[in-house]
Structure 1
Amino acid sequence: MESTLGAGIAMAEALQNQLPWLENVWLWVTFLGDPKSLFLFYFPAAYYASRRVGIAVLWISLITEWLNLVFKWFLFGDRPFWWVHESGYYSQAPAQVHQFPSSCETGPGAVLGWLMTPQVPMERELSFYGLTSLALLLGASLIYWTLFTLGLDLSWSINLASKWCERPEWVHLDSRPFASLSRDSGAALGLGIALHSPCYAQVRRAHLGYGQKLVCLVLAMGLLGPLNWLGYPPQISLFYIFNFLKYTLWPCLVLALVPWLVHMFSAQEAPPIRSS
């Protein structure tokens, strides 16, 4: 593992010091690869291209991120920005790597999320989504407290991130491990609420043209963007509640409210059909 991390540090040094003009490009790539971008960009784009594909993307995103969280608790992966200081490998010749706001994550590293499944649940009873959300919350919490009871300090990554991040303001609450849990459980519940909402019932059988789908995507991005960049409460417990509610609202906007608004305005603007 040390050789893998060392190779990653060497590559980061080469990219940062030899190709500094690509800094903004790599920051943009990092942003697009962030798990939150799955909810912000890829889920709405996939849904307006195909409802089935969009719902599948959401399911795969939240299940993969949940598994990623749990596996990281067991594997204790390091983040490069603290590993270069803690490992002792660079005590003689410090690594010439720079930190950025996106690199100061507080959760463990290493594990990559992946999921292969032939099908996902498309439309079930509302209770199914509520129970799924509850299972995600209780399952991860049970694993966390079991490991904590066994004497494992699962806050070790938060302590290292706070210790070695160059700027304290870069250590964001939304990079904490339980932030992804509140995001995933909220999205699961929000999906059920959206699929059983009156707005979705009105547009479920409606056929939206390519222009209408494009308008839906633009409008959804216009609503999700400010929602994503809203400030967070400084208290940890309030932050988790706020994050849960925010991502509960997320599927409701994409699946129900935005298509309903576009469909209603399109129906009002359509010229009446004259009988001959």
Structure 2
Amino acid sequence: MIGEEPGIMEYVHLRGVEIIQQIQHTFRHHVDLMQFLTRVGDPRYAFLIYFPLAYCFHRSTGTRVLWIACLSEWLNGVLKILHGERPYWWVNEVRLHDHVVNVPSLEQYSLTCETGPGSPSGHAMVTSAVLYSIGTSFIKHGVKHTGKLERSLVWISFTIVLIAVNISRLFIATHFPHQVVAGSITGILLAEVVKHEHTNHLTFCHYIVWSLLLVSGVFLTYTGIILLGLNPLWSLDLAKKWCARSEWVHPDTTPFFAFVRDVSSLIGKY
């Protein structure tokens, strides 16, 4: 929590808030665009849009996209469940508990008040993992007989979309810069690992076993948190406390909602 942070993290957060404030000032006339971009990177669209489209065009790619979406979101939830401040509440908590008075104020928007912990960024992690998988598959199956120009365009497009999503996350004060960078790198590394797995040949039993493993992992994590006397919903309390409007609080952005989506998607695919 805020009062227990080492000096280095407070410094990182303060510098991050300054960057966010500058981004909010730069794009202050493009609020709708920024909120559209953050929706583009919403992990739920990996299941609702990117997976179905990829599956229609290339079955094995679609299957891999589903697995990467599930694994990246699940891993993200496990990594962030106990830590990861969000800028919109941190700027208020640090003033209240640490009496830091020179913290810049941040604007809030209708998509700002996500309720899960913030590090690493789930939007950045899932988006980078899914788009990286689609990009590598497109190069392998779609443009393998063409030149470097087409391959370059694929990765340029990937980079532009990922940067745009990350900037939008900073703009709405939902993440610090280091959180979107960590999410992007982790997502790409995960996609690089999963792309070597033959997910297209997995049977129904594999899906059931993996679903049970994911559920078990969540259950053990949650039980461990309770046994340690910690509050697994600490971030939800902070979101409700510091969100500018109560109707902007999004309970469906907690890790536990994501876990349910991941498991049900794996079972439902088969």
TM-score normalised by L of structure 2: 0.65
Q: Please show how residues 120-269 of structure 1 align to structure 2 within 5 Å.
A: 120-192=198-270
In the alignment, the residues of structure 2 paired with residue 171 and residue 61 of structure 1 have an alpha-carbon distance, to the nearest angstrom, of 24
1:63 and 2:71 are equivalent in the alignment = yes
TM-score normalised by L of structure 1: 0.64
- Is 1:84–1:90's contact at 8 Å kept on the other side of the alignment? no
1:47 and 2:37 are equivalent in the alignment = no
1:96 and 2:174 are equivalent in the alignment = no
Which of 107, 118, 134 is 1:109 aligned to?
A: 118
Structure 1 residue 172, shift from structure 2 partner = 2.0
1:38 and 2:62 are equivalent in the alignment = no
Structure 1 unmatched ranges of 5 or more: 193-276
Give aligned-pair identity as a percent.
Answer: 37
Q: Deviations over 1:73-123 (max 9, x none)?
A: 24x110111111112378534523211232211111121252132124213
- Is 2:81–2:255's contact at 8 Å kept on the other side of the alignment? no
Q: More displaced, 31-40 or 17-26? A: 17-26
Structure 2 unmatched ranges of 5 or more: 1-8, 121-182
Structure 1 residue 35, shift from structure 2 partner = 1.0
Structure 1 residue 57, shift from structure 2 partner = 0.9
- Is 2:114–2:251's contact at 8 Å kept on the other side of the alignment? no
1:82 matched to which residue of 2? 89
Q: 1:184 to 1:86 in 2, by over 3 A?
A: same
- Is 2:79–2:119's contact at 8 Å kept on the other side of the alignment? no
RMSD of aligned residue pairs (Cα, Å): 1.9
Letter in 2 for 1:170: W
- Is 1:43–1:58's contact at 8 Å kept on the other side of the alignment? yes
Q: 1:156 to 1:34 in 2, by over 3 A?
A: same
1:250 matched to which residue of 2? none
In the alignment, the residues of structure 1 paired with residue 94 and residue 118 of structure 2 have an alpha-carbon distance, to the nearest angstrom, of 15
What stretches of structure 1 move > 4 A for 4+ residues in a row? none
In the alignment, the residues of structure 2 paired with residue 7 and residue 44 of structure 1 have an alpha-carbon distance, to the nearest angstrom, of 40
SS in 2 for 1:110: coil
In the alignment, the residues of structure 1 paired with residue 198 and residue 36 of structure 2 have an alpha-carbon distance, to the nearest angstrom, of 30
- Is 2:60–2:199's contact at 8 Å kept on the other side of the alignment? no
Which of 11, 15, 19 is 1:11 aligned to?
A: 19
Letter in 2 for 1:84: V
Q: 1:18 to 1:48 in 2, by over 3 A?
A: same
Structure 1 residue 149, shift from structure 2 partner = 0.5
Q: 1:110 to 1:129 in 2, by over 3 A?
A: same
Higher radius of gyration, 1 or 2: 1
- Is 1:59–1:120's contact at 8 Å kept on the other side of the alignment? no
Letter in 1 for 2:23: L
2:177 matched to which residue of 1? none
